[in-house]
Structures are given as C-alpha cells and as structure tokens.
Amino acid sequence: MASEIQLHQNEEFISELKECAKLLTEKLQGNQFEDASQLIHAMLESRDRHIFQSVGHLTRALHNAIVNFHVDADLTKEPPKVESSEIRDASNRLNYVIELTQKAAEKTMDMVDEAAPIAMNLGQEASVLRDQWARLKRREMTPDEFRVLYGRMDDFLAQMATGTEQLGRNLQEIILEQGFQDLTGQVLKRVIGLINEVEQDLVSLVRIAGQVEEITGLATGADKSEQEALIQKRKVEAEGPQINPSERADVVSGQDEVDDLLSSLGF
Amino acid sequence: MKILIVDDFSTMRRIIKNLLRDLGFSNTHEADDGVTALPMLRSGDFDFLVTDWNMPGMTGIDLLRAVRADEKLSALPVLMVTAEAKRDQIIEAAQAGVNGYVVKPFTAQALKEKIEKIFERVG
C-alpha cells in the first residue's frame, strides 16, 4: 500500500532529523559553526527531498485511483473533458433506475386507471340488477319489466365476462411491471460496489496526504467560521427521503410528529 | 377551485392529481419546479398550491417565499407535500408561511385531512 510506504519514509525522515539534530547540538556546543551550518543545510535538503518524494507518492496514488475507475478523459481541455469513466457509467446506470421506476409507476397507474371504471360499472350494474331481481322474487314485476330485465341480464353477463377478463389482464400486467425491482436492484448493487471502491481509494489518498502534511508542517487549521456556516446551511438543506428517521434526533419520523411540531408552533 | 401541483416527478404529480380528483377537485394543473410554477401562478388565478420541496431549478421553499412576497399571490393557501423531514425544515416552512405540511410517503387520508383543514381555516 502506498500509505504504508509513505509511513516508512516518514519514519526514516524523522530518524534522520533526530540524528542531525543531535550532531548539530554537539557541533554548536563545540563551537564548530561551519560544520553546524552544513548540517542545517543537509537537514533542509532532506526535508525538501522528503516533500518531493511524498508529492510523488500522492501523485502516483491519485493516478492509480483514476486508472482504477477507468477514467478516459482529455486533460488538455479546460475543463477536462471526460469521455468515459466508472463514475460516468454509474451515473448512466442510476439514470436508468429513475427511468425504469418511472415507467413502471406510470404503466401501473395506467393499468389501474383503465381498470377502475370497468370495476365501477360492473359494480353499479350489479347493484341495479340485484334490486330488480329482488322485486322479481317478491313478484312485484310486470311481464314488460321482466322482459327488460331479461335482456339487461344477458348484457350484464356478457359485460361481466369481457370486463373480468380485462381486469385479470390488467392485474397480470401490474404484476409483470414489478420486474423493475429486480433490474434496478442489480444496477443499484453495482453502483454501491463502485461507491465503496471510491471511498477506499479516497481514504487512502487522504491518509497519505495527512502523513505528508503532518511531517512537513504543511497542515493549516481549517477555517472555522466557514465550517460553521456549512453546518448551519446543512440544517435546512434538502436531503430527500430519510432512510433511518428513528436514528436521527433532528428528523421527524412521520406525519404525527410533523403535526405535533406545527401545533407547538401555534398552527 | 383551480389547483396547481408542483413536483419534479411526474409520477408524484399524477398520484396527487388522482387523490385530488377523488376529493372532488378536478381543475388541476401541473408544473415541474418553482421556475415554471411562478409565472403560471402570476397569470392564472389559482386558488390553491400544492408543492414539493426538493426540486431542481427553484425549490418549493423558495417558491413559497416568492408567493408570500408577491402582492397578488401573498394570500394563496400553500400545502407542502415533501420527503423533507428535518425539524429545522418544517420550522422554516412554517416561518415562511406554509398552510400545511405533509411528509412523503403519505396516505390519502392524511392529504385529505390537511386540505380540508386549510380550506376550513381560509374559508
């Protein structure tokens, strides 16, 4: 691992510094100023060499990370033009998930919209016929009315046959449409794998960079007020659906809590 | 009753539209973010606005602020229907003058209750 090589070189650099420092004290105490000056020069050189080496490691690690993600980019352009990369590929895959889920949702709603009036008409006709059937059983029906009922019953049975057939087809289509779950699941799993890889590579880059900063004294304190402004901004930034609302104190876990919060504000 | 539904996902717009139709409101119009919604509101004598929070272009909270700041629209009842569930966000929406707040995923019952409550209050 690159960060382990870096760690080893840091240790060498430190022991070299310590060695020089010891010698430097000896020379100074012995009033050998010319030797002391040479030592200081050597220490500075060693520090510079160490920085160059560290930057080299960092560059190589960054390069490896880029190679790992199969980034094919034209770096001469400003901004660099990315032809293809795993990240680009992942974005395309995620867009495909959006597309697929949207299609499935729309198709399902189409099927329901188509089926709802059929079911409603059958239900209405059935209740009309039931009332008339009851009148027939109570012998309240004239022969003319019975003839109308007779015809209507015939129509209803035909409607019933085609209607239920259509309903069955639509229900079947709705089931088939749920196949998006399998397809999007596979795509999402691949993207999750990629994100984990990116994270690992980033963590190792940050580690190397941290070791370089520490040993060469390049680290600067982060701007505090800037960070605080960022935290403040995050509080009201849109986040989309909460995955684990019960694990976060700053998030409500349902409509009841929204209502409670609003009524506590005088709503 | 003329209603504008603002959400960047057409599926969600359709769900809300269907629920509103079941509640007896069939004069509904759609926009996919605040940028397209605002000119529609300004020129279209709408009686009610249902909006999502998280949208590209102009978010729902910015749309709400723009509505409250507009002389002609400032009294328009606004219902937020959103997945955003942070307490600070709900407080912010309340302070910006929202009339109701429904978190997704929601039930038909919850949406119905909030809408009825809003109309009760605004008369």
Instruction: Please judge whether B83 and A242 are an interchain contact, meaning their C-beta atoms are less than 8 angstroms apart.
Output: yes
Q: What is the pLDDT of residues B11-44, one digit of tens each?
A: 899 999 988 988 889 999 999 999 999 999 999 8
Distance from CA of A228 to the nearest CA of B (A): 16
Top pLDDT among A74 and B50 is at B50
What pLDDT sits at residue A64?
A: 79
Q: Does A161 touch chain B (CB under 8 A)?
A: no
Chain A neighbors of B65, CB-CB under 8 A:
none
What pLDDT sits at residue A1?
A: 57
What pLDDT sits at residue B65?
A: 97
Most confident range, picked from A23-32, B77-86, B113-122: B77-86
Q: What is the pLDDT of residues A208-250, one digit of tens each?
A: 777 777 766 665 555 667 777 887 777 778 888 887 888 888 8
Task: Measure CA B2 to chain center.
Answer: 12
Residue B51: φ, ψ to 5°: -135, 145
> In the beta sheet, which residues pair with residue B4?
B29, B49
Instruction: Please judge whether B91 and A105 are an interchain contact, meaning their C-beta atoms are less than 8 angstroms apart.
Output: no
What pLDDT sits at residue B48?
A: 96
Cα–Cα distance for residue pair B52/B104, rounded to 1 Å: 10
Q: Does A264 touch chain B (CB under 8 A)?
A: no
What pLDDT sits at residue A218?
A: 62
pLDDT band at A254 (very low <50, low <70, confident <90, very high): confident
Confidence (pTM) = 0.70
Distance from CA of A164 to the nearest CA of B (A): 23
What pLDDT sits at residue A71?
A: 75
Instruction: Please judge whether A238 and B88 are an interchain contact, meaning their C-beta atoms are less than 8 angstroms apart.
Output: no
Top pLDDT among A260 and A205 is at A260
pLDDT band at A156 (very low <50, low <70, confident <90, very high): very high
Q: What is the pLDDT of residues A20-54, one digit of tens each?
A: 888 888 888 888 888 888 888 888 888 888 888 88
Instruction: Please judge whether A250 and B88 are an interchain contact, meaning their C-beta atoms are less than 8 angstroms apart.
Output: yes
> In the beta sheet, which residues pair with residue A73?
A82
In this predicted structure, the answer to whether residue A79 has a pLDDT above a threshold of 80 is no
Most confident range, picked from A120-129, A257-266, B100-109: A120-129
Average pLDDT taken over every residue of chain B: 92
Contact map slice: A 10-69 vs B, CB within 8 A: none
Using DSSP's 3-state secondary structure scheme, residue A259 falls into helix
Residues in B lying within 8 Å of A, measured between beta carbons: 9-11, 14-15, 18, 53-54, 59, 61, 83-92, 94, 101-104, 106-107, 110
In this predicted structure, the answer to whether residue A252 has a pLDDT above a threshold of 60 is yes
Instruction: Please judge whether B102 and A255 are an interchain contact, meaning their C-beta atoms are less than 8 angstroms apart.
Output: yes
Residue in chain A lying closest to B59 (CA): A238
Distance from CA of B84 to the nearest CA of A (A): 5
Chain B neighbors of A102, CB-CB under 8 A:
9-11
Distance from CA of B78 to the nearest CA of A (A): 14
Cα–Cα distance for residue pair A110/B23, rounded to 1 Å: 20
In this predicted structure, the answer to whether residue B72 has a pLDDT above a threshold of 80 is yes
Residue in chain B lying closest to A101 (CA): B11
Contacts 24+ apart (CB under 8 A), B34-39: B34/B6, B34/B58, B34/B59, B34/B60, B34/B62, B34/B63, B34/B66, B37/B4, B37/B6, B37/B63, B38/B63, B38/B66, B38/B67
pLDDT band at B120 (very low <50, low <70, confident <90, very high): confident
Instruction: Please judge whether B85 and A258 are an interchain contact, meaning their C-beta atoms are less than 8 angstroms apart.
Output: yes
What pLDDT sits at residue A2?
A: 62
